[in-house]
Structures are given as C-alpha cells and as structure tokens.
Amino acid sequence: MAKVTRKPLISGNWKMHHNHFEAISTVQKLAYILTKDDYEAVDVSVHPPFTDLRSVQTVLEADEIPVALGAQHCHWEDKGAFTGEVSPAFLAKLNVTYVIVGHSERRELFGETDEMVNVKAKAILKLGMTPIICCGETLEEREAGSTDEKVAGQVRAGLAGITPEQIGGLVIAYEPIWAIGTGRTASAEDAQAVCSLVRATVSEVAGRDAAESVRIQYGGSVKGSNAVELMAQPDIDGALVGGASLVAEDFAAIVQYHAAG
C-alpha cells in the first residue's frame, strides 16, 4: 500500500529531564545539526518540563529556530484551585503548539482516565493548540490478545464530541506501554498494524477525510537505527521519542531519517 503524503511530525518528549540550562543547550545543539532540508521534510517539536518552557520558547523565537514548542501535560480548566496543575491557557500564552495528552505514564502512574484525556483534548483545541492523544496497551493486554480492543477504545473515547474537522488536524500517538523505556520496540509490521487500526477507528468516528488527514505517531524506544523502517510504514506519520530525544545528536539522527531512507 502506498504511503499517503502527510508531513511527518517527530516529537521529543523530555519527560522529567533537563533543567532550563540543559534544555537551552539541547535546543541550540539541535538547531546547529538540523538543516533547512530537514525542516522542509519533517515537522519537529520538543516537549520540555514546565519549568523549561519559557526559556526554550525564548531561544526558539529569538534565534528563529523552526522547531515547535510542546508541553507534556495540562489540566482541562483555564484556571482554578488545582494546586500543582498547569492551565492550557498558560501554555497558549507561551506559544505552545502541541500538548501531549494521556501519555501512558500519566495514565499508569497518575490515574488519568479516558474521560480526562477527552476533556483535556477539547480544552487544548479551544485554545488553538494541537493535542497529541496517546494510546497503547500493556504487556499483559498484548499477551492476552486485547491490543485492538484497548487501543480502539482509547481512540474512540479520546475523540468523543470532537468535530471531524478538528480530528483531521490532530495527532494520535500509538505507544505500546511495554516498549517505553525498555529498549524493546514493536516490529515495523506490528507498529503498522496498530497504527492502521487507529486510522480505521478514526474513520469510523469521524469519516474517511479526517482519517486520511490525522497524523499518527509511533512511540516506544524509537532510535536512529530503527526510524527509517518505522517511518516507511504507510500509517506511521511520525514518532513520539522519549530517551533518544534527550541528546541532540541522537534526536537529530531520528529527524534525519528521511535522508537515509
């Protein structure tokens, strides 16, 4: 099956790594390595911790670096008595473009539900930002043969009440929980099969046009060594990169998959 042309999005999720000095250094090194050809071929976003956002924003804008600023999480309310949470309105004021929603670590460690993911996605869209809605199965679910049921259910719940026009502009990240930070990676064929399921589910929810427009990332121990094979799959339109995005050279090698493929 031929790959439909959708500009890939490679996102670096720095999780709870890099203070703001380290974040600035990483962005500057990344900008030194990437070229005009890379930015023309691939959209790139970085998702630092909240304490780094303003510093990274300043560097990106002052140096006119064509990398989008992203956040890792947000609350669904613009303001309120939610100690320790971050408002999506605050992120919008920092010119954040993408916000990760429902990452497996948020779901598994902090109890985020499908319903919370859905209201967060709507709040992000309301403020003109783009949610990266995550889905994925545990090792136990995979071994039990319930991957399709789990992933399709998360996608349907995450998209509930969002218009087809909005869905067409979203990003959905398939990140098998068993592959995150473990060094294990789904084979390109396995990753493609689930990403194809994600697209089929979007089609059921919002129609074929939305399904053909939505970008689907794969996340789970993505590295420069496997990026070309993963990105060649027809329903994989990018990568949500964890550990390999912390070092500028390693992240750049993933972004530059297009030159090696």
Residue 131: CATH number of its domain: 3.20.20.70
- State how far the Cα of 167 lies from the Cα of 215, in Å rounded to an integer: 10
Selected catalytic residue, list 112, 137, 141, 175: 175
Residue 3 domain-assigned? no
Confidence of residue 178 (pLDDT cuts 50, 70, 90): confident
User: Quick one: pLDDT band at residue 202, thresholds 50, 70, 90?
Assistant: very high
Rounded alpha-carbon distances, angstroms, from residue 176 to 142, 190, 194: 9, 10, 10
Q: Residue 3's pLDDT is what?
A: 62
Strand-pairing partners, residue 134, are 173
Give domain status of residue 4, yes or no: no
20 is catalytic: no
Q: Is residue 221 part of a domain?
A: yes
Query: Cα(first)–Cα(last) distance of the chain, in Å?
Result: 17
Contacts of 39 (CB under 8 A, 6+ apart): 66
Marked catalytic residue, from 18, 73, 75, 103 = 103
The question of whether 175 is a catalytic residue gets the answer yes
1 belongs to a structural domain: no
Segments forming the whole domain that contains residue 219: 9-260
For residue 19, tell me if it sits in a domain.
yes
Coil, strand or helix: which one is 42? coil
Q: How confident is the model at residue 186 (pLDDT cuts 50, 70, 90)?
A: confident
Question: Using CA atoms, how far apart are residues 111 and 60, in angstroms rounded to an integer?
Answer: 33
- Residue 153 in domain: yes
d(CA 38, CA 34): 6
pLDDT (mean) for 62-89: 98
Q: How many domains does the chain have?
A: 1
Let me know how long the chain is: 261
Residue 31 lies in a domain: yes
Span 129-155, average pLDDT: 95
